[in-house]
Structure 1
């Protein structure tokens, strides 16, 4: 540590938790305000997805670079820098007057999150000793990740209805300022390490994903054969290929390719990506379904997600105890099964336009299920990783999480736009939402199959309740 000030671990954990919760909430805080944002700024239905994708793309694309920056420049320094970028971008988003303005600063906000997120986990490791203290801190950290998305939906709905959708972003200004001040006072700096920044790797991976997602989203409006759709997908694939070439030749690679030599870890990354591909459809389209089909105002639409929040909080906190009795594998497969059942049920009942029969019970299943999925996938994703690669492995888990949400939403937007409806207006949206949820259930089913076939949780992995080096539950979609 670089300061002799006494360490107040309670304040450190509070600051880290509040900061991480703020960036997780902002992934979903816009969802319940989407209809009003669309009306105010003139977004097209497909363009609306970029409000989410711009954030998750830069968040996922620059996470590994953000982790490297913390190693080289100091974790506290990058933690504060990330908070500052995130807070100022939030202010600009709240003042947005055009779609381009909002999308641009959502991307900048995602960059701030990418700088901030890796430092939150690293600062827990440096401020809490290995053992019970660190395990408790990591459990609270995982719980924040698990419930943050739903809290964002509820808070976004309340603010959109009572004040304005813009208030959901303006509120970050005083919170961010308080957290920066608290960080300067209570968080100790970590030693700097020597190293280089792999800017070429970060840019090629992020631009590649942006181009790929652009091509897929453009297909929703113009068709798969449209020149922009084809060009976007082709350029994206090319840039991602260049990224892998760069990483295989870099002296200090952003993504050590040796991490991809372990089949179980690869399965954990793939399962996480597929899981988020499916879950993002539930969050994104249910928020609009509640308002456009069931006629809920934003505040009530946000509160309508409470049946997800409470079960997810309970199941997230129960993971250590449940794993001791059932093991990681059974908990993971049970959680994914509950999510598949909930999403499929909601898809089948979409045209009923009934909250109690078509939304409430599926939400309960999804809430309990998601709380049991992310922690076991995190354990599998960092299993057997050497200490010097622990940060990169945790970053790769978060990348899989964010890219899964981004790709999933892009593909599901295409599904939503395809096919014929059985009616117009609310009836048409109900039918299309059902089709999207069927596709989302297929993604979740694929995650279940990958987990069943490849994720075994060998005896050498951390036991439930024991230390899980470098682990973190990434933000929910």
Structure 2
């Protein structure tokens, strides 16, 4: 394949839709890997003798590496070319998936998950860059709609796939399944992707910035996880939180001085962007909390099999997509503020139901209702954060939103694991009750915050409606 984008810049690539298909499947793998492992956690606990902390890090480590290095991956794609970064990320993710599935201990499993996150951080932003480059005009909007739809239901569908694989060939296949798919995509993209001219070294990579934000978030997540055993108000927990806060402060100061900063922190001072990132962080944390609590409740407390548990999450997947679709249709007419408040109140009501009654039917109904609310939040968050940025700021603003999405996943797993620790390691239901109650309270308080902070101007969303998570 010798199609050169530099020579035919305005000519549509003849295989662009085929390329989108392969890139879309690759992106779906990355999204699924946030939640596909959730259903396998009780089985990993049994086979590897993993502790509660190790199980929590199995979810959080991937999301942390993914989110912490994503902006660095996007910058690298700008400097050396998106094709090279996509292929490198795909190789790393595929190899790491094989190593994770073969891991004989929880320590090696966590190492594999971190490597998966590194590969995902390279692949995802570079793949999106290629989509934007290959398409133009109305076709670009259609292509981005397909891309967004993958995020809308991918996370929820991951639980279904995880249940089928865990109940069938076993939990290692949650990771092994990525290997043949990754190899097929790799071969196809090597042939299909256009050749790219070497990018001019306009800027250097802000490696220090990436390390600072990732280390600070990792410290905060470690504080959340350790609080499940040591307590929330201990000196150790407080010290870790203070260290994380200092790390974020140093990161912000470095971004103001760096010659080529990883992130324009001034964007976060803008009300729409700040509100959007807050909503995406909370929506993802609530979504992961639902999956984490639900999979342990059904398998650990009720003794259901992995496949049955996965099927019970089918209404959750459908509710997530329905909430996102209805909100995408209504946001231009109604505006972001009322939909943000409604979405959060729906999520709070859904999570309150299992907190009152832990009957399996109540849990399924409650988490499905909560999923509809979080599905709406994903749309409102993206539209709020990205609806009013200038064209030249769209890339970095999208990266910020995606980064907070992954940090929300990592933090959500850490917090709910500590709150529900008693039920994750024992035979009581009290931990599950506290976990769902904490989610309901968080969503309710956030609704009050969103009612004050979220912009209400519907005209900001009429020209560009965002319908993906």
Q: Give the TM-score normalised by the residue count of structure 1.
A: 0.90
Task: Summarize the Cα distance change of 1:458–1:189 in structure 2 as closer, same or farther, 3 Å threshold.
Answer: farther
d(CA) in 2 for partners of 1:228, 1:472: 42
Question: Is the contact between residue 335 and residue 458 of structure 2 (CA under 8 Å) also seen in structure 1?
Answer: no
Alignment partners' CA distance in 2, 1:136 and 1:27? 25
Structure 2 regions of 5+ residues with no counterpart? none
Aligned-pair CA distance for 1:425? 5.0
Asked if 1:258 corresponds to 2:266, the answer is: yes
Residue 417 of structure 2: aligned partner: 413
Partner of 1:449: 448
Q: Kindly state the Cα deviation for residue 231 of structure 1 after the two structures are TM-superposed.
A: 5.0
1:138 touches 1:472 (CA, 8 Å); kept in 2? Answer: no
Q: How many residues align?
A: 459
Q: Is the 8 A contact 2:58 2:109 kept in 1?
A: yes
Specify the alignment match of 2:370 in structure 1. Answer: 366
Q: Measured at CA, do residues 229 and 338 of structure 1 come closer, stay the same or move farther in structure 2, by a change above 3 Å?
A: closer
Equivalent residues in 2 for 1:195-210, closer than 5 Å: 195-210=203-218
Counterparts of residues 42-57 of structure 1 (less than 5 Å) = 42-57=49-64
SS at match of 2:420: helix
Q: 2:287·2:371 contact (CA, 8 Å) conserved in 1?
A: no
- 1:194-248 residue CA offsets vs partner (Å, 9 max, x unmatched): 2110001001111121122112212222335767545543433332222112111
Q: Contact 1:277–1:407 (CA<8 Å) still a contact in 2?
A: yes
Question: Match for residue 230 of structure 2?
Answer: 222
Task: Return the alpha-carbon distance in structure 1 between the equivalents of residues 219 and 114 of structure 2.
Answer: 14
Matches within 5 A, 1:79-158: 79-130=86-137, 132-158=138-164
Quote the residue 2:330 is aligned against.
322
Q: Corresponding residue for 1:310?
A: 318
399 and 299 in structure 1: CA distance in 2 versus 1, 3 angstrom threshold? same
Q: Look up the match of 1:355.
A: 360
Query: Secondary structure of 1:372's partner?
Result: helix
CA RMSD of aligned residues (A): 2.3
Task: Report how far residue 105 of structure 1 moved.
Answer: 1.2
Give the corresponding residue for 2:431.
432
1:39-75, Cα deviation, whole Å (9 max, x unpaired): 1111112331010111111111111111111111111
- 1:237-248 maps to which residues of 2 (within 5 A)? 237-248=245-256
Q: Which residue of the other structure, out of 178, 183, 186, is the alignment partner of 1:177?
A: 183
Is the CA contact (8 Å cut-off) linking 1:269 and 1:381 kept in structure 2? yes
The more displaced of 89-98 and 379-388 is 379-388
CA distance in structure 2 between the partners assigned to 1:239 and 1:134 by the alignment: 38
Q: Which residue of 1 aligns with 2:304?
A: 296
How far did 1:462 drift? 3.5
Paired residues of 1:279 and 1:440 also in contact (CA < 8 A): no
Candidates 14, 17, 25, aligned match of 1:10: 17
SS at match of 1:296: coil
Encode CA deviations 1:426-447: one digit per residue, 9 max, x unaligned: 4x1x221010111111222233
Give me the whole-angstrom Cα distance separating, in 2, the residues matched to 1:257 and 1:325: 31
CA deviations over 1:451-472 (Å, ceiling 9, x no partner): 2211125355241xx446xx78
Aligned partners of 1:137, 1:366: CA distance in 2, in Å?
29
Q: Partners of 1:335 and 1:21 in 2: how far apart?
A: 25
Q: Is the 8 A contact 1:96 1:102 kept in 2?
A: yes
Deviation at 1:282, TM superposition (A): 1.0
TM-score normalised according to structure 2 size: 0.91
Aligned to 1:25: 32
